[in-house]
Amino acid sequence: MRAVRLHDYHQEPVVEEVPDPHVSGPLDVVVRIGGAGVCRTDLHVMEGQWADAMGPTLPYTLGHENAGWVEEVGSAVTNVAVGDTVILHPTPTCGLCRACRAGQDMHCVASSFPGLDTDGGMADYLLTSARACVKLDPSVQPQDVAALADAGITAYHAVRKAVPLLHPGTTAVVVGAGGLGHIGIQCLLALTATEVVVVDPNPAALELASELGAHHTLLADEHVVGAVQDLTGGEGADVVLDFVAEQGAEATSWEMTRPGGSDYVIGYGGTLSIPTLDVISTERNVVGNIVGTYNELAELMVLARRGLVTLHTRSYPLDDAVQALRDLDAGGVRGRAILVP
């Protein structure tokens, strides 16, 4: 089969032939990939930012946002069958550790992360686990939902955590209306009655945010903190969802929060430096977010089925994976890039 393989850091991957995967364990599932999302994390992986944390053996296959059709199942698999349409939770889990038992399966002590520490789904086929498979309606096209497997669940997870803080009359600021942010906007509108303000340096991204229903859009410039304060009577936002968190956005997001507010950090790459006096004197919170749970992915797919969350995508053939990564890096992708084998 074809696969997008990273041979060394700080180099582009290559599309090459590798052996097809096959089941070997009782809960193994092989999925024929119908869509694989291209994520900014893939760029960070190529830069080596995840090397120490994940320790993959190079070369390996990229791709952690995957959907497709079940091709082969292990002897103990009962939740899906050959031919079923599925979207895959990005971290196959054990189901037995304390985190899994508590419904916090993204913190499973024995999980893997295909595309980051093992072979991922930018390929014709992916070996995964029955515990990662969310069964979809047969009418769903995998390429239309693949990016919900990570970008979608990550955005939904952060918004769902913030829901108790976002009663009517509150304000939520979304920083970054790209691949994750445009999903976060829709999740806020579907789950809350908060006023949604979107901040982005790209006018095209702000246009998309308006099309999705954002109440206000602001250009990310040196005046944006003041603009948020103007919209909130000088208070600042109750919740900021920072889908960028690098190149200065991490500092600006903190400055946008009101006293008693919460700064949800979802993007990464920067460094958040806050005087501790500022934290205690204003009782503001910084909340970390990583991926989401299996149940949250299932909930998100309900919103998608109802048309409340849709992906704005640009499709590429699998053989054009390198070009898709280049386009993403250059800011040329509106919404999400999807590889279609």
Q: Domains in the chain and their CATH numbers?
A: 2-149+293-340 (3.90.180.10), 153-288 (3.40.50.720)
In 13-163, at which residue ranges do the beta strands (DSSP E only) sit? 14-17, 28-38, 60-61, 66-73, 85-88, 125-129, 133-135
Give the confidence band of 335 by pLDDT, cuts at 50, 70, 90. confident
SS3 call for 34: strand
What number of H helices and E strands is found in the chain?
12, 16
Q: Which amino acid is at 302?
A: V
SS3 call for 91: coil
Can the peptide bond before residue 59 be classed as cis, meaning omega within 30 degrees of 0? Answer: yes
pLDDT tens profile 1-33: 999 999 999 999 999 999 999 999 999 999 999
CA distance 118 to 111: 11
CB atoms within 10 A of CB 210: 15
Going by the DSSP 8-state scheme, the letter that residue 83 receives in this structure is T
pLDDT tens profile 274-298: 999 999 999 999 999 999 999 999 9
Asked whether residue 334 carries a pLDDT value surpassing 80, the answer given is no
Mean pLDDT within 305-331: 93
Give the confidence band of 178 by pLDDT, cuts at 50, 70, 90. confident
Asked whether residue 341 carries a pLDDT value surpassing 80, the answer given is yes
Mean pLDDT within 113-141: 95
pTM of the model: 0.90
Could you write out the DSSP letters of every residue in 155-203? HHHHHHHHGGG--TT-EEEEE--STTHHHHHHHHHHH--PEEEEEES-H
pLDDT tens profile 236-276: 999 999 999 999 999 999 999 999 999 999 999 899 999 99
Give the confidence band of 74 by pLDDT, cuts at 50, 70, 90. very high
Task: Give the pLDDT of residue 64.
Answer: 95
Going by the DSSP 8-state scheme, the letter that residue 20 receives in this structure is P
* 244, 176 Cβ separation under 8 angstroms: yes
Asked whether residue 143 carries a pLDDT value surpassing 90, the answer given is yes
Give the angle subtended at the CA of 149 by the CAs of 78 and 32, to the nearest 5°.
Answer: 55
Give the confidence band of 106 by pLDDT, cuts at 50, 70, 90. confident
CA distance 28 to 138: 21
Task: Give the pLDDT of residue 336.
Answer: 85
User: Quick one: how far is CA 88 from the chain centroid?
Assistant: 13
CA distance 204 to 216: 14
Phi, psi of 163 (to 5 degrees): -50, -45
Burial class (CB in 10 A: 0-12, 13-18, 19+), 207: middle
The mean predicted confidence, pLDDT, of the chain is 95
Task: Give the pLDDT of residue 259.
Answer: 97
Non-local (6+) Cβ contacts of 34 within 8 A are 67, 68, 69, 85, 141, 142, 143, 146, 340, 341
